[in-house]
Amino acid sequence: MTSHGRFWASPPSKPMIDRNGIVMTGDDGKRRYSPIIEFESKDTRERWSDAVIEAVKAAHPEALDPPRAEPRTATIGEARADDMPF
């Protein structure tokens, strides 16, 4: 994930399940999650996140590159370069 130009990793979590086996949702309709692991401090969590990001960069340098824009194709009514008579 990224925020303010900085990548960060989120610790794993699992969906919260009610006694009927249904995934619980919040007032906003989004699924609720419970952490699988927790850290003793914010500093420890941030160091873990930084280590995960560095490991991803080392193994897959391209993984955190900004997405490239897909080439845009002409839509109906637009002229394409190869349609031009000159």
Residue 2 is predicted with a pLDDT of 65
pLDDT tens figures, 30-86: 999 999 999 999 999 999 999 999 999 999 988 888 777 666 665 555 555 555 554
Q: What pTM value is reported for the model?
A: 0.60
Residue 86 is predicted with a pLDDT of 45
Mean pLDDT for the stretch of residues 6-29: 94
Neighbours of 56 (CB within 10 A): 14
> What is the band of 17 on the pLDDT scale with cuts at 50, 70, 90?
very high
Domain ranges of the chain: 2-65
